[in-house]
Structure 1
Amino acid sequence: MELFSEIYGCYYQVLRSILNTAYRNGFISKAEILDEIKSKAFAESIITIPDRLESGSWGILQKKDGGYANGLDGEIKTPISSLLKAYLKTIILDPKISLFLDDSEINELKLLLKDAEPIWRKESIRYIDRFEMGDSFEDEAYRANFRMLLKACKEKKVVKIEYKSKKGESKIRAYLPGKIEYSEKNDRMRLYALKHFNGNSKKDVDYDILNLQNVVSVELSDDQVTEEAKKIDINEIIERSYCKEPVRILIRNERNAMERAMLHFANYAKNTTKIDDNTYECLIKYNKRDETELLIEVMSFGPLIRVTGNECFLAQLKERLAKQKLLW
């Protein structure tokens, strides 16, 4: 599995792109290397990859005229291995694939991969840190709603969404969909949708988070979107609602804690800095409505993560830990 994740993973892709650019052009500058890393790798990769390339410890680039040349022969191509086929088979068996492919496409891929064994099957994994009731990804109405919302996100179209609240009440409202996000912990899709988007000021723009499982129906609206509204970045609106101070945590890189943390907090905006050989500081930006979920996620790492701020988050963490202690 490690061989698979290295060859087809993010780091190999960015290094392959750097080397192939250097080979085709006969040269690649440091600025171009940094651009490749920023666009294709993780934000934290900028800490380690440039140093390794410049030091020559990897032996794949050679210094040339203030930049670098490919130190290998020819372009790098990635073979299609049996492990990749097994991985593709695993993806095809994932219920979420039905959101992006039609039944005929799924059946055709299953036929092409009929001799490949999946790496794992859904029933082979027992989750202990997620809710049991995930979304009905294979339901026809759910699939239709998802695709309509995805199309609206891409094309900046207004939609009318009938949504069922926790109390069972149905409401219909016009939204400008911004993005769809998958929650690994809840095994659910949620929509970030703009409201008050055609106002005179960006300050009036707000957003709702809708669980797709509770979306009854979606249809295109006759409402027009102004050119200014089309330029609104949903991420900017979300960032505007962040708490003033981020959560500040120190990660002790034992038992692969750093890699696990980056994966675990992937859906949060964050900045990570290396403090020493074994410690990283991570600043996590979050919305007040996500605070409880973030608390639970931070606590799941136990002593490998130490929270140093902000004061409000730290106080709630202490309160929750005190309550847990009373249960023992």
Structure 2
Amino acid sequence: MEIFTEAKSTFYKALEEIINRAHENGTISQKEIYDILTKYNCNFPVIEDRIFARNHSYQKNIYVLKPHENKTYRLRINTKIEPYVTNLEIMWLKLIMSSRYANLFLDSSTIEKIKKLKTPNVLPIDMNIIVPKNYSKILLREDIKILTPKLRIISKSILEKRILRYTYTSRNRQVFKDTIGIPVKIQYSLKDDMFYAIFYSPLHKTFAKCIIQNIDEIKPEEGNFDREQILKEYEIYLKNAKSKQPIIIEVMNTRNALEKAFCMFSSFEKSARYLKEKNRHEIRIYYYNFEEAEIISRILYLGKNVVVTEPQHIRENIISRVKEALKAYYNNYIV
């Protein structure tokens, strides 16, 4: 029956929820059934007829419910549907096991269970054909065995509301030794394949974004603080730091520029529309003032397939950077 095809049928999920709710509560009302069908966009007359056994051809009816009283129904067989893993989900689980970060977020017993899952009768994805190109040329990716304890102590400190003392080396190699900070959140950059930690400094009353692999000598520090208050201060900090005007770029859909643009700005709030008269896509990028230099570098990475239309100071910055690059190139390679 096509309606139960794996990874295709929303009706299966709707019927699973109907059966499990009826099993859990003993009965299920007609309204609850309609609400579930609507939730999964399955509220079509033909499907309702099959569930309530109203179809003239009895082979097309689904005999899982029987009328009870006051527009309620009970299960004909009093059992629930246990969750199961589809072939598509197995393929996905096998794929993520190839990630170097699998051990960061899954314990060893879970990883072993996934490895024992029966592989579908399809060719697996060969991860060796996927060649990463966006990783930072300045910072090499840290060994996962070194990164793991740092991530775990930061995440544990967030959960347990602990203060941390650490030494941090910035991108320009400036060292901040014995820094005290309260971890607020952990972020991941798809572009650089790196983890970042947001710290609040009780001393300077401000926030800093640190590359986790550049954090050393990290350890818990004694001290009390109101985490909820710090999170409120963080939201106020972000609100005040938000740029009043988005950066607007027009992307020509050539050489995969559009896909690259969405990938490069995947971590930013944005909106997009198609400009039919120009045959271009307009992307509005909303950002914080402290992210301006990062956005400019990503725009430059996209090259001539992207035009910045607003704001003017960003246009002037990029034009100046391009002129400097051309001048350096001309001076170095003049014949």
| Shorter-chain TM-score tier | 0.5 to 0.7
Higher Cα Rg, which structure: 2
Q: How does 1:1-328 map to 2 (within 5 A)?
A: 24=32, 26-27=34-35, 69=43, 73=47, 80-112=85-117, 118-121=124-127, 123-131=128-136, 134-136=140-142, 138-139=144-145, 141-165=146-170, 166-167=172-173, 169=175, 171-196=177-202, 205-226=205-226, 229-232=229-232, 234-252=234-252, 260-273=260-273, 279-326=280-327, 327=329
RMSD (CA atoms) = 4.1
Deviations along 1:129-159, one digit per CA (max 9) or x if unpaired, are: 32365433521x4212201212333444322
TM-score (norm 1): 0.65
Report how many aligned residue pairs link the two structures: 271
Secondary structure at the counterpart of residue 308 of structure 1: strand
Pair 162,321 (structure 1): closer, same or farther in 2 beyond 3 Å: closer
Deviation (angstroms), 1:308:
0.8
Q: State which drifts further: 214-223 or 254-263.
A: 254-263
CA–CA distance in 1 between the matches of 2:261 and 2:45?
34
User: Relative contact order: is structure 1 or structure 2 higher (C-alpha 8 Å, sep ≥ 6)?
Assistant: 1
**Counterpart residue type for residue 148 of structure 1:** I
Aligned to 2:56: none
**Counterpart residue type for residue 144 of structure 2:** E
Pair 129,138 (structure 1): closer, same or farther in 2 beyond 3 Å: closer
CA–CA distance in 1 between the matches of 2:31 and 2:46?
9
Deviation (angstroms), 1:247:
1.0
Pair 154,279 (structure 1): closer, same or farther in 2 beyond 3 Å: farther
Deviation (angstroms), 1:85:
1.9
Contact 1:159 1:219 (C-alpha < 8 Å) held by counterparts: yes
Which ranges in structure 2 are unaligned for 5 or more consecutive residues? 1-6, 19-29, 52-80, 331-335
Deviation (angstroms), 1:296:
3.0
Q: Percent identity?
A: 20
Aligned to 1:44: none
CA–CA distance in 2 between the matches of 1:102 and 1:245?
44
CA–CA distance in 1 between the matches of 2:307 and 2:174?
40
Contact 1:27 1:70 (C-alpha < 8 Å) held by counterparts: no
Contact 1:87 1:118 (C-alpha < 8 Å) held by counterparts: no
TM-score (norm 2): 0.64
Deviation (angstroms), 1:178:
1.7
